[in-house]
Amino acid sequence: MHIEGEAQLLRIFLGESDHLDHQSLYEYIVMQARKQGLAGATVWRGIMGFGGRSRQIHTSKILRLSEDLPIVIEIVDESQKIQNFLPFVNEAFDRANCGGLVTVEEAEVIRYIVE
């Protein structure tokens, strides 16, 4: 696979406790991205954050260990592939009945070559 030039970055913000079909929502989304042939996905686990539903700070500090730390999934691929994947992401959030934030921004791929 070879991607170079204009692309899009899909960034999905959710909580560690969000689940769908007895699986973490982030795992479900990443597995579907792989099935749909996207270039790759990275999941980041935040050490602190808060979201729209909760103004409570979620943190990994030992004295206030949270079971719902912030999770960010990043996927970069050709614009059309990202746009085709967005309806799946929206459906996954609806089925999981949870909140989240999804953003898309333009990205320039300098190097992505897989042999």
Give the domain ranges of the chain.
5-109
Per-residue pLDDT tens for 41-86?
Answer: 999 998 887 776 656 655 555 544 556 788 999 999 999 999 999 9
State the pTM of this model.
Answer: 0.86
Contacts of 19 (CB under 8 A, 6+ apart): 25, 96
Query: Following DSSP, what letter does each residue of the chain receive, concatenated?
Result: -B--EEEEEEEEEEETT-EETTEEHHHHHHHHHHHTT-S-EEEEE-SEE--SS--SPEE--GGGB-SS-EEEEEEEE-HHHHHHHHHHHHHHHHHHT---EEEEEEEEES--B--
Residue 25 pLDDT grade (very low, low, confident, very high; cuts 50, 70, 90): very high
Structure tokens at 53: 């539903």
Q: What is the Cα gyration radius of the chain?
A: 15
Query: For the domain with range 5-109, which CATH number is right: 3.30.1320.10, 3.30.70.2860, 3.30.70.120, 1.10.599.10?
Result: 3.30.70.120
